[in-house]
Amino acid sequence: MTTKRSFSSQEKLDIVNEGMQPGANVTEICRRHGIGTSLFYYWKRQAMNGAADAIRGPDRNAVALKQENARLKKLVAEQALVIDRLKELNESVRRGKNVSGRSSDS
């Protein structure tokens, strides 16, 4: 029984680059690395799509989504601070102190 081997992205890229060299025998390369030719061509297609995406650069929608994500993260952080402060105030009230920190016995 064979075990499934996982390849890092760098290993995949190295194998694809090896197969793209002039005169390279893809079948031999795949045999040496213990992969099927269909997997090689799948990795090659992924690499080519990734290269095309890199050349095109980020699309406007992705940039807008990143900006919206940053805005929402800031909003969540601000709300977390407010919640923490409210918890502190609530705890103070439960201990019998008013907001100014003086005892309510006065």
pLDDT digits (tens, 9 = 90+) for 34-67: 999 999 999 999 999 999 888 887 787 888 899 9
Mean pLDDT of 69-87: 97
Confidence at residue 96, expressed as pLDDT on a 0 to 100 scale: 84
Structure tokens given for 73:
């993260």
Q: Of 36, 32, 43, which Cα lies nearest the Cα of 9?
A: 43
**Domains of the chain by residue range:** 9-56, 59-101
Type of residue found at 89 = L
CB atoms within 10 A of CB 65: 12
Q: Distance (Å, rounded) from C-alpha 88 to C-alpha 106?
A: 21
Q: Which residue has the higher pLDDT, 5 or 71?
A: 71
Reply yes or no on whether the pLDDT at 98 is more than 80.
Answer: no
Q: Distance (Å, rounded) from C-alpha 46 to C-alpha 35?
A: 16
Residue 20: partners with Cβ closer than 8 Å, 6 or more residues away: 44
**What's the pTM value of the predicted model, to 2 decimals?**
0.53
Structure tokens given for 9:
């992205």
Residue 104: partners with Cβ closer than 8 Å, 6 or more residues away: 96, 97, 98
